[in-house]
Every structure is written in structure tokens, then in C-alpha cells.
Chains A and B, each alone.
Chain A
Amino acid sequence: MALSDPLLAVRGVTLQYKTKDHLVTATYRVDFDVRASDRFVILGPSGCGKSTLLKAVGGYMQPVEGTIHLNGTQIRKPGPDRVMVFQEFDQLLPWKTVKQNVTFALTSSGRLKGAQAEERAMNYIAKVNLTKFADSYPHMLSGGMKQRVALARGMAMEPDILLMDEPFAALDALTRRKMQEELLQLWQGTRFTVLFVTHSIPEAVLIGNRILLMSPHPGQVKAELNSDGTDPVGGDGMKLSERIHHMLFSDQVEQERQTYAK
């Protein structure tokens, strides 16, 4: 069966940023395609440029080489067609209530106006089970609830693609587990396309239907794997998560051995 055109096409993207003393190459000639309704996970150790890559898709930085196309249009600046959900809890506007936060996203991006925006906001707030807290300010909510508001806000915008930058990394283990399940349930409902960055192998296996493995310094594509969320045992007798673990860390061990040998 021939595949349809990709929703997001990343072609040969090299990303660099400057720190005070260095020019750092975060990723080197990365290619990947995200198709509609994918739960596409970018997985890699810290320093593999996965967050930088997500920022480039968000339009916050320009690649020095290569192109990123969304629906055939090149990405040049941030916009409401790609909504970002951040790791940080302070991504909600503290001067607005939960409902106002979601509504404001809709009105200021020009998606909807007035009562329509409010109706859609309440609809998505209900989906993340926060109707009771619609009139609370963000500082009254727990970390998990704040991330749920951010998720509701992202989904309410009904973007072409939802970008999630380790959204559950700052949560405690129990809440994280619950949020992962909720995200999957929400996806079952609307089948939105999501590009999800994480450094946790179990999270990647659970959430993703397609996993992009990246190697660090600079970030390069190492593999693209399929996952059905159940962590199945493959032909080599290893579970998917074990295989990923092996792929990510075998090089590292080899590298360290060489360093010590010197």
C-alpha cells in the first residue's frame, strides 16, 4: 500500500545554536516524516538535540541546513497551527483562570471568537476532567492539573500537530503514569497528530506508535521503530524496550571503554 504524503516533513535538518563561548551543533542532517494521526516519539539521551529539534518544528529557530515542511508549507516562524506543550509548569498565564487561559489561546490566535471560543474551551476542559476548576487560577492547581490544562489548551486549538516537550517529566511517577494513560485515551477520542519528545524508554514505548531514536553529540537519526504500546518480544528474543536500551547505550559503553583505555 502506498503511503500518503507526510503531514510534517523534516529533511536534512542541521541545527546550531550559540552559547557564550561555543557554537554548538545540536542535530546533524536529521530526516523524518510524521503522518496524520501519528503518535510520533523522538527518543534520545540528553544532548541529542531532541528539544532543539522540536523548537525548530515550532518555528522558534531556523535550521542552518535542510528544510521543515508542514502540509507542504515551509515553517519559518511560530504559529497556532503547531501548538507546543512545555515541560515547565509556568506555561499557563498566571493572570488568567483555567477557562480564560484556554479561551485566550483561541481568541488571540484568531481561531474563534466570544461565546464559541468559550464553548470549545469548556468542552476540552471537560475532556481533561477539570470542569470544577475552570475558574481557578493556575497557582491553585497541582503540577499534574497544570499540565492537563496545558494539554486541554493545546487540543482546543485543534492544531495540525501538537508538539509536546517532555510534558510529564516534572511530574511524580504516579501522576505521570496517569497522565500517559489519559493522553492515550484522549488520542483515541480525536486522533490528533502529536510529536512527543522524551528521554524515557518506557514512556516512548507506551505512548508512541512510531519511535525515532537519536544518538547524541550531535543528534543524528539512529533508528525508527514501530510500537503498539505493549512492549512485544521481537525476533531477537528481546523486548522492544530492551532493544532500544541496547541500541542507545551500547555505543556509550564502547565509547567509555575507549576513553578509559587511553
Chain B
Amino acid sequence: MPNDIVQARPEFVRVVAPSGYGVVEKPLTVWEKFFNNGALRKALLLGLLAAAWQIYATSLDNALLFPKFSSTLAAFYEALISGTLVARAWFSIKVLLQGYAAGILLAALLTAFAITSRIGTELLETLTSMFNPLPAIALLPLALIWFGLGNASLVFVLIHSVLWAVALNTHSGFLSVSHTLRMVGRNYGLSGPRYVAKILIPAAFPSILTGMKIGWAFAWRTLIAAELVFGVSSGSGGLGWFIYENKNQLEIPNVFAGLFSVIIIGLVVENLLFQTLEKRTVRRWGMQS
């Protein structure tokens, strides 16, 4: 019998103690809390980078090639106080927002067409594979001929840089919505625009958000580059023009101050706007960790 092979052992039942097992939950120390804070860690890194910059520039001692961090900061402060930098930045942002909004709107129309019909899908796929690899700047000479020296040309190249990235991401987001969720939506009797708005868009939101972030970065880059080539239009220029102008006058700290503001605006939008949006939506819903 197999029971003979297994050695006999007594059975037992225990009463589980309700207390006396030491620490179950303990607050973290101040240092652990400090180091868990992503913003503080990032600030520490930025401080280190600034220090490295300052040390290198001091040892190089050539303000024309590489100004010190402190003189860049001073130039930045001066330009900020005098109001020129703010005016230039505002000019750039205004154009940027126009192009970005128009690009997203067109992307929405294109993807809506793509999910409702097979020919639309093919149109989107063909157009994105054609135009996505084409740098927006390469269209600038054409834009200048078509729309002249003005905001219209800038908006045109911005749309080109935003549209394909957003459309591609949104469309792939729609395609990856799970079959079960689609069936649930149809089970409720949803169809047409309501189905897209209430089921597809929220379900594809992580991809849509990624597309918007990439689109924003592309637009910002394209704008600064276009302004460098374009120069001034209608009496005032943007940040790109500010950089170009100061380079011509060999005001190198100002050039750095211009670059600095491009970086700061980028950081603010990424860290405040997009991260807040992410926290409120996809992370809260557990769709992204």
C-alpha cells in the first residue's frame, strides 16, 4: 500500500495570533521620501549639469565660443526684463498653437475617415508612409512660393509636421482597442460618432496622447528651424529669429539665452501639461504604469 511508504505524521491546527508579529506597515524616513520624489531627483540632475557647464566654460574662457552658465543666465534675465524675449516667445507660441491645433483637427478627420472605411485606411497608410519621412523644413521653399513670407507658410509646415505623427498614432491606437471592449460598446447599442467618442477614443487614449506629445515636439523643432531660415515676417520674429539675429551680432550669451528659453518652454509643456494630463487620465485608469 502506498500509505505504508509515506511516514505517519500528526496533523495539527493552529490558532492564528491576532498580534505580536512586529512591523507590518512603517512610515518611510525623510531621506527615502526625498529620494522617491522624481521632481527633486530631476532638479538635482539639472543642478549637476549646470555646474559642469559653468566649470567647463570657466576653464575654456572663451565667451564667443561657449559662454559661462552665469553669463547665459544674466543675458536671459536681461532679455526677460526688457520684454524682448517674452514678445519673441509669445510670437512663436502663437504660431505654434495655430499649426498644432490645425494639425490635430486634420488628423482627427483623417483617422475618422480611416476607421469608417477601408479606402480611408489605405489613404491614411499611403499618405503617412509618403509624408511622414519627409522633413517639414524641406517643404519650406514650396510654402514660401505658395503662401508668401508670413505666418501662413509657417502654419503650413507646422501642420505637415504634426498631422502625420498624430494620425499614425491615433489610428494604431484605434486598431489596438480590444475586441471585447468593442463588443461591450456595441452591446450598449452605441454606434457611429457616439461609439467613437465614448468607446474608441478613451480606449485608444494612451496612443493618442503619445501622438500628441510627438506632434508637439516635432512642431516646436520645425518652428524654430523655420524661423531661422525665414527670418522676420510682418515686423516681428519668433525665438528662432531672436537666436539668428544675436548670432549675427556675435551676442553669444543671448544666443544661449534663446536656446535656453526653447528648452524651458519644452520642459514646462512636457512636465506640467502633458504629465498632468497623463496622471489625470491614462495612469489613473491603470492603462499606463
Contact = CB atoms under 8 A, between A and B. Distances in A.
A167 interface: no
B188 A108 contact: yes
Interface in B177-235: 178, 180-181, 183-184, 186-190, 194, 198-199, 202-203, 205
Contacts of A79: 187, 189
Contact of B286 (A78, A84, A108, A139): A139
Contact of A137 (B187, B202, B285): B285
B187 A78 contact: yes
Interface in A83-101: 83-84, 86, 88, 90-91, 93-95
A116 B178 CA distance: 30
A133 to B, nearest CB: 14
Counting chain A residues whose Cβ lies within 8 A of the other chain, the interface size class is 20 to 34
B188 A80 contact: yes
A216 interface: no
B187 A58 contact: yes
A93 B184 contact: yes
B287 interface: yes
A186 B40 CA distance: 52
Interface residues of B, number: 21
A60 interface: yes
A84 B183 contact: yes
Contacts of B33: none
A78 B182 CA distance: 11
Given A80-B189, A109-B189, A95 B183 contact: no
B193 to A, nearest CB: 13
A94 B183 contact: no
A86 B189 contact: no
B285 A108 contact: no
Contact of A95 (B186, B194, B285): B285
Contacts of A137: 284-286
A60 B179 CA distance: 12
Given A86-B183, A93-B181, A110 B285 contact: no
Given A60-B183, A84-B183, A90 B286 contact: no
Nearest to A107: B188
A140 B286 contact: yes
A88 B181 CA distance: 10
Given A90-B181, A95-B202, A137-B285, A60 B189 contact: no
B181 A108 contact: no
B183 A78 contact: yes
A105 interface: yes
A137 B286 CA distance: 8
A193 B186 CA distance: 21
A90 B178 contact: yes
A78 B186 contact: yes
B175 to A, nearest CB: 16
B189 A110 contact: yes
Given A94-B287, A139-B285, A140-B286, A84 B187 contact: yes
A140 B286 CA distance: 8
A78 B117 CA distance: 21
B98 interface: no
Contacts of A88: 178, 180
**Which of A83, A91, A104 gathers most chain B CB within 10 Å?**
A91
Contacts of B190: 108
The list of the 8 closest CB pairs from A to B, nearest first, reads A139-B286, A78-B186, A95-B285, A95-B202, A94-B285, A88-B180, A109-B188, A108-B188
Interface of B: 178, 180-181, 183-184, 186-190, 194, 198-199, 202-203, 205, 281, 284-287
30 contacts: A58-B183, A77-B186, A78-B183, A79-B187, A80-B187, A86-B183, A86-B184, A88-B178, A88-B180, A90-B180, A91-B181, A91-B184, A93-B199, A93-B202, A94-B203, A94-B286, A94-B287, A95-B202, A95-B203, A95-B205, A95-B285, A95-B287, A104-B198, A105-B188, A108-B189, A108-B190, A108-B198, A110-B189, A137-B286, A139-B287
